[in-house]
Structure 1
Amino acid sequence: ISGKLGEDKQNKQEKSETAVRESIGVVPLALPLMAGPGAISSTIVWGTRYHSIAHLLGFSVAIALFALCCWGVFRMAPWLVRLLGQTGINVITRIMGLLLMALGIEFIVTGIKGIFPGLLN
């Protein structure tokens, strides 16, 4: 026996508050991708390998330039969305997914070659 589920009784203000509450959670996807394990470990390795002030200044300049480029791309994002439209964004997303998949397959094959050197000759 199954009963009918009761309908929610909310006024417009409660519905808008619910929508705001549901959209509060933001997942910071850009931060782990921009400053992920590769960037952090590379910074640590290069920072410990080269101790001179010139190298540290060079690293700092490179990081500052990267941050400036990211800021510029983020500032241009609304313009890019208008320029590309939803179809263009979908196409770029699929192309980037294809490239990411190709990189993943390359990493897997390289790992298998390292484990079994005579397997893929």
Structure 2
Amino acid sequence: MTVLFLKAFTLTLLGLLPMVNPPTTATLLLGLTRGMSAQQVSEQINKTAVYLFITLCITLFAGTSVLSFFGLTLPSLRLAGGLVIAVIGFRMLFPSPVGQQSSQVSGVIAFVPLTIPSLCGPGTMALVLSGAVEIAALSPETPRLPLWAGMVAAFAALSAISWGILRLATPVCRFMGESGIDALTRIMGFLLICMGMQFGITAVRDVVAGF
């Protein structure tokens, strides 16, 4: 039992950590929280860690059922995620005037885009879903509870790691200053547009390959 738990925990954590890539989300956080107070930024970071854990658990236990119920496919998730990322990238690359930004920074960014699609994008969801399918396909003699528990524990560890890395974004923000953050925001905006386009290309390629 313990061996199965540790195996599931290790494989899940090592497999998802590069996909989640918290440092990338930390740089995105720097651009999206301009004008927010330290307390607001801290609240968004705390919510992001909680949302990440909940989203991963829902994907593990109900992801395939939700996709089947709504008739959704992974390419559709990739395409939708790509569109969301591209829109956010355009807003960061071409920011609104200062008078309009103050009304935008008060919005909640913890779930979209920090959790979805930045931390938990289509690739991360696909990896979690594949793990759920593999566990379901095991022989009846294999206990599943340690495997589920190991994956959930890995989700908790991953959320804690992401929380710690996002907390480091605030000191970096102070170090870079206003001009540095503005430059980084525009660079990240351009990269997000590229990421969104790549998600769309991958989705179209998967659809074509299916035919």
What TM bracket, shorter-length normalisation?
A: 0.5 to 0.7
Residue-pair matches, total: 95
Shift of the 107–73 alpha-carbon distance from structure 1 to 2, 3 Å rule, reads closer
Higher helix share: 2
1:59 aligns with 2:164: no
Q: Percent identity?
A: 25
Q: How far apart are residue 115 of structure 1 and its match?
A: 5.7
More displaced stretch, 26-35 vs 37-46: 37-46
Q: How far does the alpha carbon of each residue in 1:42-63 deviate from its partner, in whole angstroms, 9 at most, with x for none?
A: 6456445425233323322321
What SS class does the counterpart of residue 59 from structure 1 fall into?
helix
Of structures 1 and 2, the larger Rg is shown by 1
Change (3 A) 1:82 1:108: same
Say if 2:170 is the partner of 1:78. yes
Check if 1:28 corresponds to 2:108. Answer: yes
The separation in 2 between residues aligned to 1:56 and 1:115, in whole angstroms, is 31
| Alpha-carbon distance in 1 for matches of 2:106, 2:125 | 23
CA-based RMSD = 3.4
Unaligned stretches of 5+ in structure 2?
A: 1-101, 137-143
1:89 correspondence with 2:169: no
Amino acid at match of 1:34: T
TM-score of the superposed pair, with normalisation by structure 1: 0.53
TM-score, normalised with respect to structure 2: 0.35
